[in-house]
Amino acid sequence: MNSEKLSLRLSQVAAFVPRGSKVADIGSDHAYLPCYLVLQQKAVSAIAGEVVEGPYQSALKQVKNNNLEHLIEVRKGSGLSVLKDGEADVITIAGMGGPLIVQILDEGKEKLKGVKRLILQPNISAISIRDWLIKHNWKVVEETILEEDQKIYEIIVAEPSEITTELTYTERLLGPVLIKKKSAVFKRKWMQEYEQWKNISNQLDLAGKSQTIAEKRAELEAKMAIVEEALK
């Protein structure tokens, strides 16, 4: 992977960036994504934010090697703290756990004024991101799911909404767009989850009886029922 050829995962993230955007890539690592977006003329400018020294230096080097210092600024800092008001209209956050992405959004929500699109790729717990988006009046407008190197990734695209979007628990868990598409990867992901929950439920049967165990089993059975219905 480099600035001209991204991984499948980052290529899908890039595909959701509207042409002519001012992009902020948070947790940019080597800055491959912002470099690619500028080189492909999808982004007119970009900010690569990185909190860890090693990746920050790698991002600086990558931008310099592509002679893009005049269009991409690499900044060291935590989350959205690297941004000033109005600097970006598209924010990408990819390759982190869902709870960490939520923490970044929540701690930096004042920096989201004027942002037209969030493109978020959690490695786990996409439901936590959908819950945050609903609470803060962002609407899920597109989603995709893909498999790369035997790992399955979800990408969530959200835009500001003047009204609160209501989603059922099923939609929040499985994805309001993904559940309509029901792609082969979607089915594979949730069959894997189903089997894991089934194994855990069987283990709970051997763990004795308590209110905590009963509540956990009920939670698993509810989620398993949702998946069974979705995969019909």
| Tens of pLDDT, residues 173-224 | 999 999 999 999 999 999 999 999 999 998 988 877 888 888 999 999 999 9
End-to-end CA distance of the chain: 38
- For the record, the structure tokens of 64 come out as 């310099």
Say yes or no: 162 and 95 in one domain.
Answer: yes
DSSP 204: H
pTM of this prediction? Answer: 0.95
DSSP 176: T
What is the total count of domains within the chain?
2
Say yes or no: 64 and 165 in one domain.
Answer: yes
Say yes or no: 26 and 57 in one domain.
Answer: yes
pLDDT surpassing 90 at residue 134: yes
Say yes or no: 80 and 140 in one domain.
Answer: yes
Say yes or no: 22 and 134 in one domain.
Answer: yes
Say yes or no: 105 and 207 in one domain.
Answer: no
Closest CA to 154 of 186, 180, 109, 200: 186
At 136-183, the pLDDT tens digits run 999 999 999 999 999 999 999 999 998 888 899 999 999 999 999 999
| Structural domain span for residue 31 | 8-178
Say yes or no: 189 and 162 in one domain.
Answer: no
Asked if 136 and 107 touch (Cβ cutoff 8 Å), the reply is no
User: In the structure, what pLDDT confidence band is assigned to residue 58 with cuts at 50, 70 and 90?
Assistant: very high
CA 122 to centroid of chain Cα atoms: 4
In a domain, 148, yes or no: yes
Tell me, what's the pLDDT at 69?
97
Asked if 74 and 63 touch (Cβ cutoff 8 Å), the reply is yes
Tell me, what's the pLDDT at 140?
97
